[in-house]
Structure 1
Amino acid sequence: MADDGASFAWYELLTTDVGGASAFYGSVLGWVTKDASIPGISYKLFMSGELTRSGLMELPEEGIRQGATPRWIGYVGVDDMDLAVHRMLERGGSVYVPPTGTNIGRISIVADPQRATFGLLSGSRIARPAVEGPDAPGRVGWHELLAADWRKAFGFYSEVFGWRQADSDFAGAESYQVFSAGGQTIGGIFNKRPLEPIAFWLYYFNVDDVDAAIVRVRAGGGRVYEGPLELPNGSWIVRCLDPQGATFALEGARSSDSIAKAPAAEYRWTTTWDGFTSQGRWRSGQPGGKGRRPGK
């Protein structure tokens, strides 16, 4: 039997430039860094005031030699690490880093059968906010899996972690599976586009003002490669690359003045994404994009 609603419990940026990443995300999301190193492990925490948001560390040299690139890793919290790894392997998953004790708890870096990488975490030693809404600025508010086959991917995570189908904000979105964990709607799974070479997890950080965040991304040497895109609930998203090449996304509001002043080219991109028109606008009732929890 799978864990009852095992959900994401931690996030970590593996990068080739810790100093550069610290400055970039400090500017974009208002984070500061706090040293959390232990003998043999150099590690930093991204903080919003006194709230711990995520971890930051150098991408290991062995990983670079094997072709790994800077990336965000989300960790699913589990009660029994060995059992979770066993379930994954039985269903075609892979283990890149076997269960190991670290400064944040016992971890394992793994991949689903379609090669999307994520982590497992048990016995977490990181203090997280006890009471905080999913839309609080600076935290991850949505998790999106760009899969090779979304149906098979959802089946895998459902069997391993107990994830369930959840309602979305639009009807007929058969190729965007919104899912819940522990009774909370936390993300969606859909098929990646041909331009994405492998399946991957994308994490959305909440911001108060998307347009202001875009300015900070570009000023810090990052790039917005899609968006802003409007969601059915009226919020907006952008998908970005940080200066080291790690993919992340932002979600928040836009002022009517900003929308009115936006050039038409802002909504265009050169690839096709099911569910959006060529101008980047949502087609009601179509899949492919960020389905949100009802009432958000």
Structure 2
Amino acid sequence: MNSDARVRDDVVSSHAVAGAPCWVSLTARDRRTAEDFYRAVLGWDFRTASLMDGFRIAYAHGVPVAGIAAVASTWQMAVAWTPYFAVESADEAVARGQERGGTVAVGPIGFPPGRAALLADRDGAVFGIWEGRLVVGWETWRRAAPAFLRLHTRNAFDAAMFYGGVLEWATARPGCCEVHYDGDEVVLRSEGVVVARIHSGAVEAAPDPTIRPHWQVHFAVADVGACVRAALAHGGTVEDGADATEAVLRDPDGARFTVTSASQP
């Protein structure tokens, strides 16, 4: 194990980083095609996991960074990347979400060594919660996996109030996430590190009806251009506006994600 993989590996429980993103997972129709695509674009390797049939874990340089499950067709789920947030109690987090107008799609259900649930916020953006032991130490995962998450929504302030209540952001509990405003975005920090942003455009701008509220996963990469070329060569698509620092891609199933230059702050 290298030195990076030992950083804060004592933090292996959702209780220790409650409220922070702790995992991302892809629901796919064709797992083998998805694996080939992400192996080419992001350089991942894949191994079988014991959570459930058809579930695989992606590794980046030996560190588990994401899950892929071929359940989109079986469970009638959308093909998409979904972020999971650590919570102390899945039952309590689900109850807080329902109290605030959110809906529950799945769970909480047991996936040893923990429990998970899928929810949607008041505007329909889907996210997950996780209670229990983390797949890998939180700091190790954060360094190896997504650069950050961004919620595209209709009202950033309203969304921050919803998630803050469900995930207990900006509370008095030790180690909770901090919430700040940065221009037109709400910024979430865990131990001083930006882990998520909530964006709804300029305050005076009307909501864009063409954008369905959703969480976007940003993966840090060494070469955005190489990722774009690999995506196109393996059945993916690239949205307009791609440049050397960032590109929005879709995999062959249509799941949307962003690659961001690792050299960017």
TM-score, length of structure 1 as denominator length: 0.73
Q: What secondary structure, in the 3-state scheme, does the structure 2 residue paired with 1:166 have?
A: strand
Give a deviation string over 1:182-238, Cα, whole Å, max 9, x none.
443212111263322x210000001001111111111111111133257xxxxx111
| 1:11 equivalent in structure 2 | 24
Q: The residue matched to 1:88 in structure 2 has which SS?
A: helix
The one of the two structures with greater contact order (alpha-carbon pairs below 8 A, sep at least 6) is: 2
- Matches of 1:245 and 1:4, distance apart in 2: 31
Letter in 2 for 1:42: G
Q: 1:226 to 1:181 in 2, by over 3 A?
A: farther
For residue 256 of structure 2, the aligned residue among 247, 251, 270 is: 247
Letter paired with 2:158 = K
Q: CA RMSD in A?
A: 2.4
> Which AA in structure 1 matches 2:146?
V
Query: Distance in 1 between the 2:261 and 2:119 partners?
Result: 31
Number of corresponding residues: 236
Quick one: distance in 2 between partners of 1:76 and 1:201?
A: 12
3-state SS in 2 of match to 1:228: coil
Secondary structure, aligned partner of 1:243: coil
- AA at the equivalent of 2:214: F
Matches within 5 A, 1:204-215: 204-215=218-229
Partner of 1:123: 132
TM, length-normalised to structure 2: 0.81
Residue pair 1:82, 1:99 contacting (<8 A) in 2 also: yes
Distance apart, 1:124 and its partner CA: 2.8
Distance 1:84 1:133, change over 3 A: closer
Give 1:101's aligned residue: 110
Q: 1:36 aligns with which of 15, 36, 49?
A: 49
Rg larger in structure: 1
2:148 alignment counterpart: 142
Pair 1:133–1:241, CA change in 2 (3 A): closer
- Return 5+ residue gaps in structure 2 as ranges: 1-15, 170-176, 201-206
Aligned: 1:113 with 2:113: no
Q: 1:91 to 1:6 in 2, by over 3 A?
A: same
Gap regions ≥5 residues in structure 1: 231-235, 255-291
1:51-90 maps to which residues of 2 (within 5 A)? Answer: 51-61=63-73, 63-64=75-76, 68-90=77-99
Task: Encode CA deviations 1:3-46: one digit per residue, 9 max, x unaligned.
Answer: 986101111110001000000000001001101145x6321110
- Show the counterpart of 1:225: 239
Alpha-carbon spacing, 1:226–1:177, altered in 2? closer, same or farther (3 Å):
farther
1:133–1:101 CA distance, 2 compared to 1 (3 A): closer
Aligned position for 2:172: none
CA distance in 2, matches of 1:24, 1:238: 16
Equivalent in the alignment of 1:270: none
Residue 6 of structure 1 aligns with an amino acid whose one-letter code is G
SS of residue in 2 equivalent to 1:194: coil
Q: Which residue of 1 is the match for residue 35 of structure 2?
A: 22
Aligned residues of 2:27 and 2:79 also touching (Cα < 8 A)? yes
In 1, distance between residues paired with 2:50 and 2:141?
27
Distance change in 2, residues 1:51/1:78 (3 Å)? same
